Amino acid sequence: MKKNLLLRRLVIPTFASLIAVASPLITLGAAAKEKVPQETSPSTLREPETGFRVLPYLQSPTSTSMTISWVSELNEPGNVIITGPGIKMKKLISAPHYMELMEYTEKELKQELTYNSGNGVVETIPQGSWLKSNSNYKHSVTIDGLQPNSTYHITVKQGKGTHTSRFETFPERENWDKLKLIAFSDSETEPFGALEHREWELHTVNPYAPGSEERPGKGSAFDKKYGNAARNNMFLVRYSLDQQTALNENLAHIEKEDPDALIITGDLTQGSGYQPGWDEFWRHFAGEFTDIASKTPILPALGNWETYAAINSGYGSDADRTPAVISRNRFHEYFDTPGDAENPQFKDSYYRTDMGPVTLLTLDSTNGIPDESTVTKTFTGSVYSGNDSVLKELVWAEQGVNGDPYITTDTQGEFTAESYYDAYTKVFKGTTTKDSDLPNFNPGTEQYKWAERQLKDAREKGQIILVQFHHAAYSSGVHGTPPNHTKADNQSGVAMRVYSPLFEKYGVATVISGHDEMFERSWVDLDGDGRGFHSYDVGVAADGLRGEKMIKDENGNYVPQDYNTYTQWSATQDEPEFWQTNKNGVKQLIDGGLHYGHLQMDFVKTANGTELTLTPVYIFPILDDNYDLVRTERRVYHDVQKIHFDKMGNVIPNVELISKSDFSGRRI
């Protein structure tokens, strides 16, 4: 089990904890028992070292080429040796460039991490132990002329470091048999994730399966071990896995499946402008924990956390949005995507990936114009209450507010596009506001026109079409309601519904999003012709474990808001928990409930076309009688979907629901 390989925890028994728990150390795991004097002085960064800071990771995959990128701390060229079909041995030398944006800030150097789990126990990590040197050099080489559907071996040498891996090129559209993609979102990595166990939401109306006992409560052994955090006025024990362990376990199960690509639908780090967040991200994907990105290409999307600088002034202020600009451009620095060739200023904001018979469009949902904000009470449409059935998305693109008085147009209420454009010119000297990397997504914009061109082209070529963007347009979570709602959210994805008619017109099969940190599936068929698309929130990579947005009813009880009328299934609503006390008198979760996980998509060629199986996977923790983690199991929620396509990639209507969310008791 990969757990806390780098970060040694310290436990500080507080005065409160000494009262609450006779011996707080007894309740903690082996890793936490070692008591070491706390280092309180700010860290001294180590000198740059030879070798890799970030191991080689695969980018811009096609059937005939691959880009291999990595990061070193020293300014010395590395090289890649590649062997495989059609290539005896090819050597490519890299030309490193310094990544100016990646240097630690003063606040990052001085940061201290202290975690209070709510049960009186406080934990910390030795100050600065998570920091590396302050030097980052990016290397990228692109290898062309590869053969489709073939395995290549690469050896990358960087100074005294050597790393070997293998990858497979995508198949051609006409010559393939199967393809496996895995998607998740909201990994939101940060060093603090080694300490923090997140709040673990429980449905207020449907919490338990028949025959289940209730969750461990206040003062229980589970509470003493993992602490607690209230949500919706309920006492809730925290989740048993810290976020670092959760991502390690999630990735370990993904690695076993060996997918052809890993789709990460935004919010990769807990603040893209916070460099320790990126260090932690790469530890997981191309570093000490795994090198999955060396074998499996990552296809990332920009989320709101990619415009957020965390302790370095968040989204910035009206007077200075440079933190948001630095954040987005760190994402662009790390990732190498095809982008939009006609609008290179947008860098890696949106792009197309063809994987044999499947086309994935990645959109940038982070900014819509006209700007809206719940803070300044700026709305495009009128304010309303109730659910989303008043919306007329079918006319949004053509008629705007004239066709629907309740239209919404923005996903980011924290800043205006104009303030971002101005800041861009401050970060990148010699540029004008027109050079900004922030696209708008609404009709008439370059991104919207690009998306329609790609959809049309992919449809004409007979592709199966998937789309990903961060802000779930159909969500029952806290971001589900738009800014012009009486129970508003300032970063809602509802404005992205402007794409739904296009998605239906061109036969998009599935839309993958995140942002609400739920596991939810909605079914969208606006024109009611039986053809539509699934819209997922797969925001369960490793951060929040959230459920439906709850509001107080007239009796003061928390009930689901039920804004999203398209919802079909969610892990909190439809997978109730089943707890049972074992023969040793220890209450254990047997199954059900909300867990970390991912969406697996298996495409198989059939005699008549293609079959796609969408499998919502959850990573279930098995705990011993002390509530220490023994292992995690890969389990599947009761909402596996199948989609059939004809030979031209068209969805065949009447989606077959092979497994309903009909949980009815213990399942081993």
Q: Which residues are near Fe ion by CB under 5 A?
A: 267, 303-304, 515
For Fe ion, give the closer residue by CB, 27 or 513: 513
Q: Single out the residue of 154, 182, 177 nearest to residue 81, CA to CA.
A: 154
For Fe ion, give the closer residue by CB, 156 or 310: 310
Tell me phi and psi for residue 593, to 5 degrees: 90, 180
The least distance separating Fe ion from the CB of residue 367, rounded to whole angstroms, comes to: 13
For Fe ion, give the closer residue by CB, 17 or 412: 412
Contact present, 29 and 628 (Cβ < 8 Å):
yes
The least distance separating Fe ion from the CB of residue 306, rounded to whole angstroms, comes to: 9
For Fe ion, give the closer residue by CB, 11 or 301: 301
Q: How far apart are CA 566 and CA 573, in angstroms?
A: 14
Task: Provide the terminal-to-terminal Cα distance of the chain, rounded to the nearest Å.
Answer: 22
**Residue 161 token pair:** 């470091």
Q: How far apart are CA 200 and CA 187, in angstroms?
A: 16
For Fe ion, give the closer residue by CB, 197 or 515: 515
Please list, in sequence order, all residues whose beta carbon lies within 8 angstroms of the beta carbon of residue 405, skipping any fewer than 6 positions away: 381, 382
Length of the chain: 668
What is the identity of the amino acid at 19? I
What is the identity of the amino acid at 319? A
Residue with tokens 């404005």: 495
For Fe ion, give the closer residue by CB, 304 or 570: 304
The least distance separating Fe ion from the CB of residue 99, rounded to whole angstroms, comes to: 24
Q: What's the 3-state SS for 297-341? A: CEEECCCHHHHCCCCCCCCCECCECHHHHHHHHHHHHHCCCCCCC
Q: How far apart are CA 114 and CA 12, in angstroms?
A: 9
For Fe ion, give the closer residue by CB, 276 or 303: 303
The least distance separating Fe ion from the CB of residue 57, rounded to whole angstroms, comes to: 23
For Fe ion, give the closer residue by CB, 545 or 589: 545
For Fe ion, give the closer residue by CB, 188 or 280: 188
The least distance separating Fe ion from the CB of residue 318, rounded to whole angstroms, comes to: 22
Contact present, 603 and 357 (Cβ < 8 Å):
yes
Greatest CA span in the chain, whole angstroms?
Answer: 74
Residue with tokens 């007329």: 392
For Fe ion, give the closer residue by CB, 512 or 612: 512
The least distance separating Fe ion from the CB of residue 186, rounded to whole angstroms, comes to: 6
The least distance separating Fe ion from the CB of residue 470, rounded to whole angstroms, comes to: 6
The least distance separating Fe ion from the CB of residue 540, rounded to whole angstroms, comes to: 13
The least distance separating Fe ion from the CB of residue 305, rounded to whole angstroms, comes to: 6
Q: How far apart are CA 383 and CA 142, in angstroms?
A: 50
Residue in the shown chain whose Cβ atom is closest to Fe ion: 515
Q: For 241, what's the count of Cα atoms within 13 Å in the CB-facing half-sphere?
A: 30
Contact present, 361 and 468 (Cβ < 8 Å):
yes
For residue 266, what is the enclosing H or E element? none
**Residue 558 token pair:** 């928390």
The neighbouring-strand residues paired with 197 are: 242
The burial class, CB within 10 Å (0-12 / 13-18 / 19+), for 296 is buried
For Fe ion, give the closer residue by CB, 331 or 620: 331
Residue with tokens 């980011």: 412
The least distance separating Fe ion from the CB of residue 271, rounded to whole angstroms, comes to: 11
The least distance separating Fe ion from the CB of residue 301, rounded to whole angstroms, comes to: 10
Strands 178-184 and 261-264: parallel
